[in-house]
Amino acid sequence: MIGDNGAGKSTLIKALSGALIPDEGEIYLNGALVHFHNPLDARRMGIETVYQDLAVAPALNIMENIFLGREIRRAGFLGSLFHMLDKRRMMDDTIRYMSDLKIGIQSMSQPVGTLSGGQRQGVAVARSAAFAQNVVIMDEPTAALGVKESRMVVELIRQVRTRGLPVILISHNMPLVFELADRIHIQRLGRRVAVIKPDEYSMADAVAIMTGAKEVEPAHA
């Protein structure tokens, strides 16, 4: 998804992730009408979001960040009455999630605050990919990162897509968009003005459509 500042990208994403209740319009998921009253509703429907501001808890370790708000209790009496956590299972799952996405970190017990920016974003991506059932939304996931760390996140996006999860990527980085996207949703003045394919339009065309300098063919409007 691309669009100039103020085009409505963030508003649309907030509606899709349950952070904002739209005044009008409808949201369909797998053909069924859905209503989100808060982000938890969207998460229960298998929608996960990765934000540009590295939304992790620096003082917690990797495992604790992956399962933050989704902690697994131990089975039986200890879990139900004393709310004791099954840390072994969570650690095993964390190692598997990070391994599946080929995120190389030596210890899952180290605080996230000790990681590089790319590794922190990797934790956020792994958390979303682990629990998403329908779609992962990534809002400018490379905006706060350097070149090397951005490439790491690009590979993570490829890994998520390879696993069969659709990814909605919001970005101002046009080369990145054209490298990764199957379809490009162009937003202008609060509305979708076109959906194009990277192999049918150039980056210059996409920018021109985004700014209103170029009209799109009726089939793509």
Q: Is 107 helix (H, G, I), strand (E, B) or coil?
A: coil
Q: Classify residue 92 by its DSSP letter.
A: H
3-state DSSP helix/strand/coil % of the chain, to nearest 5: 40, 15, 40
Residue among 73, 117, 124 at smallest CA distance from 98: 124
Are the CB atoms for 121 and 145 separated by under 8 Å?
Answer: yes
Distance CA 187, CA 193 (A): 6
How much is the pLDDT for 117?
82
Query: 196 - beta bridge partners?
Result: 184
Q: What is the pLDDT of residue 90?
A: 92
CA 176/CA 195 separation, integer angstroms: 17
Site of tokens 């998403």: 132
Q: What is the pLDDT of residue 45?
A: 95
Residue % of the chain over a pLDDT of 70 = 96
* Closest to 207 (Cα-Cα) out of 174, 181, 171: 174
For 76, which DSSP code? Answer: S
Q: Which residues of the chain have pLDDT under 50?
A: none
Neighbours of 61 (CB within 10 A): 19
Specify the pLDDT at position 153: 81
Q: Are 63 and 94 in contact (CB under 8 A)?
A: yes
* Closest C-alpha to 216, from 190, 177, 187: 187
User: 28-74 pLDDT, tens per residue?
Assistant: 999 999 999 999 999 999 999 988 776 789 999 999 999 988 888 88
Q: What is the CA radius of gyration of the chain?
A: 19
